[in-house]
Structure 1
């Protein structure tokens, strides 16, 4: 089992998750009765008009090679391949006039599609 890294704002080279996003993850877990101890799996998959799409889901445990972060009791699992594309990314949650959902602020993305659902590096 890999050591869990503590999330430290402004210091972590890994994925950062805002307080607002953590609150939303906790809300989703509660509403969907996702068991305590599950973590948020963050990933990148091939697809979309710009080449890659983000994926979010819940997982019972880490997998071999995962980077594991934790913030406010929420574990975040990132597979090795995805971590290459997500290094330095901030995950936020927005609930504004243009809609609501998780937003990925990825410094590695050099292009995004018009709808913002995919990116390229």
Structure 2
């Protein structure tokens, strides 16, 4: 069983996505997570009528979520939040098991990685622009 936590903001966002998706009752929120990106996670999400082949159904915060087996492993112990600000909107993954990564850009085309060490969790944000339509 995957130990994933949803903040109230994430729960509200995901439940609205499912409710207004046009999918039949029983639809779920499919979250496909892969390793990568500066913060350690990349993700895509869709609302599906049923899980795809190989997906696991996980109930999180009263919501039906579909995870690939790799996603379930990567999301173990992670808190999913939803951020909506004037500059960005999307899901944020708070991973207490991974060191944070601070990225900075010192000029055009120059991307420098600096890994911060400490007890602060890593954050990864997935923009709502990455929503795939089924």
Fold shared, TM-score > 0.5 on shorter chain? yes
Q: Which protein, 1 or 2, shows the higher relative CO under an 8 Å CA cutoff with sep ≥ 6?
A: 1
Alignment of 1:15 with 2:4, yes or no, is: yes
In the alignment, what sits opposite 1:66?
Answer: 56
Query: What pairs with 1:1-121 in structure 2 (closer than 5 Å)?
Result: 14-48=3-37, 52-62=41-51, 63-64=53-54, 66-72=56-62, 74-112=63-101, 114=103, 116-117=124-125
TM-score calculated relative to the size of structure 1: 0.65
Contact 1:85 1:108 in 2 (8 A): no
Gaps of 5+ in 1: 6-12
Contact 2:58 2:64 in 1 (8 A): yes
Q: Cα 1:37–1:93, aligned 2, differ >3 Å: closer, same or farther?
A: same
Q: Give 1:104 shift.
A: 0.8
Gaps of 5+ in 2: 105-123, 127-134
Once superposed, what is the RMSD of the aligned Cα atoms?
3.0
> Aligned pairs, how many?
106
Which ranges of 4 or more aligned residues in structure 1 deviate by more than 6 Å?
A: none
Q: d(CA) in 2 for partners of 1:32 and 1:49?
A: 30
Q: Which has the larger radius of gyration?
A: 2
Q: d(CA) in 2 for partners of 1:14 and 1:65?
A: 16
Higher fraction of strand:
2
TM-score calculated relative to the size of structure 2: 0.60
In the alignment, what sits opposite 1:10?
Answer: none
